Amino acid sequence: MASRPDRADLGAALFVLGLGGLAVWQTIAIPASPIYAQVGPKLVPWLVAGFLLALGGALTAAALRGGWSHDLPEVAEAAPANWRALGLLLAGLAANLVLIVPFGFTIAATAQFVLVAAAFGSRAHLRNLGIAFAVSLGAYTLFVQLLGVNIGAGLVEGLLFGSPE
Q: What is the pLDDT of residues 59-96, one digit of tens each?
A: 999 888 887 777 666 666 667 888 999 999 999 999 99
Average confidence (pLDDT) over 110-138: 96
Average confidence (pLDDT) over 9-36: 88
Query: From CA 65, how far away is CA 56, in angstroms rounded?
Result: 14
Query: From CA 31, how far away is CA 36, in angstroms rounded?
Result: 11
Handedness of CA 118, 123, 125, 129 (dihedral sign): negative
pLDDT of residue 76: 61
Confidence grade of residue 31 (pLDDT, cut at 50, 70, 90):
confident
- Identify the weakest region by mean pLDDT among 14-28, 37-51, 109-123: 37-51
> Would you tell me how many other CB atoms lie within 10 Å of the CB of residue 30?
12
Angle between helix 7-28 and helix 43-64 axes, rounded to 10 deg: 160
Query: From CA 107, how far away is CA 91, in angstroms rounded?
Result: 14
Query: From CA 135, how far away is CA 145, in angstroms rounded?
Result: 15
Domain residue ranges in the chain:
7-76, 83-161
With a cut of 70, say whether residue 36 has pLDDT above it.
Answer: no
Query: From CA 162, how far away is CA 165, in angstroms rounded?
Result: 9
Of 86, 77, 15, nearest to 7 by C-alpha is 15
Between the alpha carbon of residue 109 and those of residues 2, 19, 99, the distances in Å are 48, 23, 9
pLDDT of residue 1: 42
pLDDT of residue 110: 97
With a cut of 80, say whether residue 165 has pLDDT above it.
Answer: no
Average confidence (pLDDT) over 49-58: 96
**In angstroms, what is the C-alpha Rg of the chain?**
21
| Per-chain mean pLDDT for the chain | 87
pTM of the model: 0.62
Query: From CA 96, how far away is CA 56, in angstroms rounded?
Result: 28
